[in-house]
Copies of this chain bind each other. A is one copy, B any other.
Amino acid sequence: MTAIRSVTLLGATGSVGSSTVDLLKRGNGRYRVEAVTAHRNAAALAQVARELNARFAVVGDPDAYRELKDALSGTGIEAASGEAALIEAAKRPAEWVMAAISGSVGLKPTLAAAQRGATVALANKECLVCAGGVFMRTAAAAGATVLPVDSEHNAIFQALSAGPREDVSRVIITASGGPFRTWTREAMRSATLEQALKHPNWSMGPKITIDSATMMNKCLELIEAHHLFAVEPERLAVLVHPQSIIHGMVEYRDGSVVAQLGSPDMRIPIAHCLAWPARIDGPAARLDLAQIGSLSFEAPDPDRFPALALGRRALEAGGAVPTVFNAANEVAVAAFIARQLGFGGIADLVEATLDAADRRNATAEPKNIDEALAVDNMARSLAQDLVPEIAAKAV
């Protein structure tokens, strides 16, 4: 890689954003940074903008504008705030955009980057889970390249280079199995918040750690993989692999399985996206399988992890059902963190919300982002209304 690549970071101060900043700083002038954004941490964003010599810095929250503006005074870096400014950051001409704004607030800026045909390193889950059809069609029409950042999808993307897409027989997403991998169903139903927050391999935020404990994260990843790689639901599988070293696998029709492995360091998939189709040096620890010694595998247990069947239901139903599934899960996890629901109540609430949405026939595929956001809102309020009932049932 000798040409200078222009890049924008949507969500520069979160975990993925910080790892990306780390790689850009090691880039020795190979990158020119157009725009950086953050939700509301103006101080951290200003520091990133200065370190990377960005042209434009945006905080989503208008209340943080003044602090950002002051922190950047005299640097020549333009400051802005609000949703329209986030979208403007995405629209500015950078070849490569890291889409790491989390939550539904990331939908419009990420779509804006795809719409102008950028190479989008996609770390925002909602684009695929809530609006996968809209997002992928928009990207395809604009000639945008979508590179998955998530370690599982990045692994599958790499493994897909070994053969034509039509010759893929199965796509396998690995799962650590989370902290409750070996627990009984009964013990899991009454697991505490503290127990659910202890992830064996990755250090992540509370929402995603609890999704790992329920295996809801794998359901969301199946939905993402379905859209990213245009793989039919019946070809998508989950395999429990407690060491999280093999991140994803592709089985071809001749029986070959191609996999990507690596240390659990997000800088590996991010470096892959940043340099693709070339490669750059990465600071992550080299994988030493002799030192690790052993990798183990188990079939996921649908009895102990009821999320898996719910995820498959959403995946196979398609339309707006994955959007409902995701919204219900977010409400359920928030209720669990607020100690309004037990651990077993998370799946119960998701199921009840899917049923309620079915009864309302509110499951047609969103035709645009606004429709997807409307379904998301509807499902959140459906789920929220169901919390007391599910909480009472579990007692």
Interface residues of A (CB under 8 A from B): 158-159, 161-164, 167, 239-241, 246, 249, 251-263, 265, 267-269, 271-272, 275, 277-282, 284-287, 289-290, 292-299
Contacts and interface: CB of A to CB of B under 8 A. Distances in A.
A158 B258 contact: yes
Closest 9 pairs between A and B when the two form their complex, measured CB to CB: A167-B279, A254-B282, A254-B271, A255-B284, A289-B297, A290-B299, A257-B261, A255-B282, A255-B268
Contact of A296 (B262, B263, B265, B293): B293
B265 A255 contact: yes
Nearest to A174: B289
A261 B287 contact: no
Given A164-B277, A167-B278, A293-B298, 16 more contacts: A161-B161, A162-B162, A167-B279, A239-B289, A254-B275, A254-B282, A255-B263, A255-B267, A255-B268, A255-B282, A255-B284, A255-B287, A257-B261, A258-B258, A290-B297, A292-B297
B164 A161 contact: no
Contact of A287 (B251, B282, B295): B251
Nearest to A271: B254
A279 B261 contact: no
The number of times this chain is found in the oligomer is 2
B297 A281 contact: no
A285 B159 CA distance: 20
Contacts of A296: 293-295
Given A268-B255, A280-B254, A260 B299 contact: no
A28 B294 CA distance: 42
A164 B280 CA distance: 11
Contact of A294 (B260, B261, B268, B295): B295
A298 B287 contact: no
A252 B279 contact: yes
A258 B256 contact: no
A261 B251 CA distance: 9
A167 B163 CA distance: 20
Contact of A253 (B267, B269, B280): B280
B287 A257 contact: yes
B281 A253 contact: yes
A159 B326 CA distance: 34
A256 B268 contact: yes
Contact of A249 (B261, B263, B299): B261
A254 B268 contact: yes
A98 to B, nearest CB: 15
Given A279-B163, A290-B297, A294-B296, A256 B260 contact: yes
